[in-house]
Amino acid sequence: MTESFKRHFVKDKERKQLLTEMQQKINVDIQELFGADLHIESAESKTARVYLINNKPLFARRDNLILPTLTFDDILKLLPQVVVNMGAVPHVCNGADVMAPGIVAVKGDFGKDEFVVVVDERHQKPLAVGTALYDSETLRNLKQGKTLKNVHWVGDNLWQLLRKL
Protein backbone atom coordinates (compact mmCIF):
# COMPACT_ATOMS: atom_id res chain seq x y z
CA MET A 1 0.00 0.00 0.00
CA THR A 2 1.32 3.44 -0.92
CA GLU A 3 1.73 5.95 1.86
CA SER A 4 -0.12 9.24 1.30
CA PHE A 5 1.19 12.72 2.09
CA LYS A 6 -0.30 15.92 3.35
CA ARG A 7 1.98 18.55 1.84
CA HIS A 8 1.88 22.28 2.56
CA PHE A 9 4.14 25.33 2.83
CA VAL A 10 5.33 26.15 6.33
CA LYS A 11 4.04 29.45 7.74
CA ASP A 12 6.52 32.18 8.74
CA LYS A 13 6.23 31.68 12.51
CA GLU A 14 6.73 27.91 12.25
CA ARG A 15 9.51 28.50 9.69
CA LYS A 16 11.52 30.65 12.12
CA GLN A 17 11.10 28.13 14.94
CA LEU A 18 12.02 25.28 12.64
CA LEU A 19 15.19 26.99 11.34
CA THR A 20 16.28 27.79 14.89
CA GLU A 21 15.72 24.19 15.99
CA MET A 22 17.57 22.80 12.96
CA GLN A 23 20.52 25.13 13.46
CA GLN A 24 20.79 24.29 17.16
CA LYS A 25 20.64 20.56 16.51
CA ILE A 26 23.28 20.44 13.77
CA ASN A 27 25.35 23.56 14.55
CA VAL A 28 25.13 24.85 10.96
CA ASP A 29 23.48 28.03 9.69
CA ILE A 30 20.86 26.77 7.23
CA GLN A 31 20.31 30.20 5.69
CA GLU A 32 24.05 30.47 5.05
CA LEU A 33 23.87 27.24 3.06
CA PHE A 34 20.82 28.17 1.00
CA GLY A 35 20.58 31.94 1.18
CA ALA A 36 17.79 34.03 2.64
CA ASP A 37 15.13 32.98 0.12
CA LEU A 38 14.13 29.61 1.58
CA HIS A 39 10.98 27.81 0.56
CA ILE A 40 10.09 25.27 3.23
CA GLU A 41 7.35 22.70 2.79
CA SER A 42 6.15 20.04 5.16
CA ALA A 43 5.12 16.60 3.92
CA GLU A 44 3.36 14.56 6.60
CA SER A 45 2.77 10.84 6.61
CA LYS A 46 2.31 8.12 9.20
CA THR A 47 6.07 7.48 9.18
CA ALA A 48 7.39 11.00 9.69
CA ARG A 49 7.09 14.65 8.85
CA VAL A 50 9.60 15.58 6.16
CA TYR A 51 10.72 19.16 5.61
CA LEU A 52 11.58 20.08 2.06
CA ILE A 53 13.87 23.07 1.67
CA ASN A 54 13.76 24.47 -1.86
CA ASN A 55 11.99 21.25 -2.90
CA LYS A 56 14.63 18.88 -1.43
CA PRO A 57 13.75 16.55 1.49
CA LEU A 58 16.49 17.62 3.89
CA PHE A 59 15.10 17.24 7.42
CA ALA A 60 12.60 14.97 9.08
CA ARG A 61 10.80 14.87 12.40
CA ARG A 62 10.25 11.43 13.82
CA ASP A 63 9.45 10.59 17.44
CA ASN A 64 9.70 14.33 18.22
CA LEU A 65 13.34 14.37 17.04
CA ILE A 66 14.36 16.58 14.14
CA LEU A 67 17.18 15.10 12.11
CA PRO A 68 19.00 15.60 8.83
CA THR A 69 18.08 13.05 6.19
CA LEU A 70 20.59 10.94 4.32
CA THR A 71 19.70 12.94 1.20
CA PHE A 72 21.12 16.15 2.70
CA ASP A 73 24.64 15.82 1.26
CA ASP A 74 25.68 19.40 2.11
CA ILE A 75 25.09 18.79 5.82
CA LEU A 76 26.38 15.23 5.89
CA LYS A 77 29.76 16.51 4.67
CA LEU A 78 29.89 18.99 7.58
CA LEU A 79 28.89 16.59 10.36
CA PRO A 80 31.44 14.47 12.24
CA GLN A 81 31.81 10.89 11.00
CA VAL A 82 32.25 7.45 12.45
CA VAL A 83 33.80 5.02 9.99
CA VAL A 84 32.73 1.40 10.40
CA ASN A 85 34.30 -1.77 9.01
CA MET A 86 32.56 -3.66 6.23
CA GLY A 87 31.38 -6.34 8.67
CA ALA A 88 29.26 -3.74 10.49
CA VAL A 89 27.61 -2.40 7.31
CA PRO A 90 24.73 -4.91 7.03
CA HIS A 91 23.91 -4.50 10.72
CA VAL A 92 23.90 -0.69 10.56
CA CYS A 93 21.74 -0.82 7.40
CA ASN A 94 19.26 -3.00 9.30
CA GLY A 95 18.94 -0.43 12.08
CA ALA A 96 21.42 -1.76 14.61
CA ASP A 97 23.15 0.71 16.89
CA VAL A 98 26.87 1.15 16.23
CA MET A 99 29.09 -0.92 18.48
CA ALA A 100 32.66 -0.02 19.43
CA PRO A 101 34.35 -3.10 17.86
CA GLY A 102 32.99 -2.15 14.41
CA ILE A 103 34.48 1.36 14.46
CA VAL A 104 37.59 1.92 12.36
CA ALA A 105 37.94 5.71 12.81
CA VAL A 106 36.29 8.76 14.36
CA LYS A 107 36.53 11.92 12.26
CA GLY A 108 35.77 15.26 13.88
CA ASP A 109 34.79 16.27 17.37
CA PHE A 110 31.32 16.00 18.87
CA GLY A 111 29.53 15.86 22.17
CA LYS A 112 27.13 13.38 23.67
CA ASP A 113 23.69 13.37 21.96
CA GLU A 114 24.99 15.18 18.84
CA PHE A 115 24.40 13.86 15.32
CA VAL A 116 27.12 11.79 13.68
CA VAL A 117 27.17 10.32 10.18
CA VAL A 118 28.09 6.64 9.91
CA VAL A 119 30.10 5.80 6.77
CA ASP A 120 31.64 2.56 5.50
CA GLU A 121 35.42 2.22 5.36
CA ARG A 122 35.65 1.19 1.72
CA HIS A 123 33.49 3.75 -0.11
CA GLN A 124 33.00 6.41 2.59
CA LYS A 125 29.26 6.42 1.73
CA PRO A 126 26.77 7.57 4.36
CA LEU A 127 24.94 4.59 5.81
CA ALA A 128 23.18 6.16 8.76
CA VAL A 129 22.70 9.15 10.99
CA GLY A 130 23.11 8.42 14.66
CA THR A 131 23.22 10.24 17.97
CA ALA A 132 26.38 9.88 19.98
CA LEU A 133 26.11 8.09 23.30
CA TYR A 134 29.53 9.51 24.28
CA ASP A 135 31.64 12.50 23.28
CA SER A 136 34.22 11.93 20.52
CA GLU A 137 37.23 11.70 22.87
CA THR A 138 35.59 9.01 25.01
CA LEU A 139 34.31 7.16 21.95
CA ARG A 140 37.81 6.96 20.43
CA ASN A 141 38.98 5.02 23.49
CA LEU A 142 36.07 2.58 23.79
CA LYS A 143 36.70 -1.08 22.98
CA GLN A 144 33.23 -2.52 23.64
CA GLY A 145 29.60 -1.56 23.92
CA LYS A 146 27.18 0.72 22.08
CA THR A 147 28.58 4.03 20.86
CA LEU A 148 25.87 5.52 18.61
CA LYS A 149 22.10 5.19 18.55
CA ASN A 150 21.03 4.63 14.96
CA VAL A 151 18.15 7.04 14.21
CA HIS A 152 18.00 6.99 10.37
CA TRP A 153 19.60 4.46 8.04
CA VAL A 154 19.61 3.38 4.42
CA GLY A 155 16.51 1.28 3.86
CA ASP A 156 14.45 2.39 6.90
CA ASN A 157 10.87 3.65 6.61
CA LEU A 158 12.05 7.26 6.36
CA TRP A 159 14.49 6.33 3.58
CA GLN A 160 11.64 4.66 1.68
CA LEU A 161 9.46 7.71 2.21
CA LEU A 162 12.16 10.09 0.91
CA ARG A 163 12.41 8.11 -2.30
CA LYS A 164 8.71 8.83 -2.98
CA LEU A 165 8.94 12.59 -2.52
Percent of the chain beyond pLDDT 70?
Answer: 98
Whole-angstrom Cα distance, residue 156 to residue 87?
A: 19
* pLDDT reading at 26 higher than 90: no
pLDDT digits (tens, 9 = 90+) for 54-104: 899 999 998 888 999 999 998 999 999 999 999 999 999 999 999 999 999
Question: Helices marked H in the chain — which ranges?
Answer: 12-26, 30-34, 73-76, 89-92, 136-141, 157-164
pTM, full prediction: 0.91
Confidence of residue 51 (pLDDT cuts 50, 70, 90): very high
Sequence length of the chain is: 165
- The string of pLDDT tens digits covering residues 135-162 is 999 999 999 999 999 999 999 999 998 8
| CATH (residue range 6-71+160-164) | 3.10.450.120
What is 75-154's CATH number, 2.30.130.10, 3.10.20.90, 3.60.15.10, 2.60.40.1190? 2.30.130.10
Residue 90, amino acid: P
Tell me where in the chain the CATH 2.30.130.10 domain(s) lie. Answer: 75-154
Tell me which amino acid residue 44 is: E
What's the distance, CA 4 to chain centroid? Answer: 23
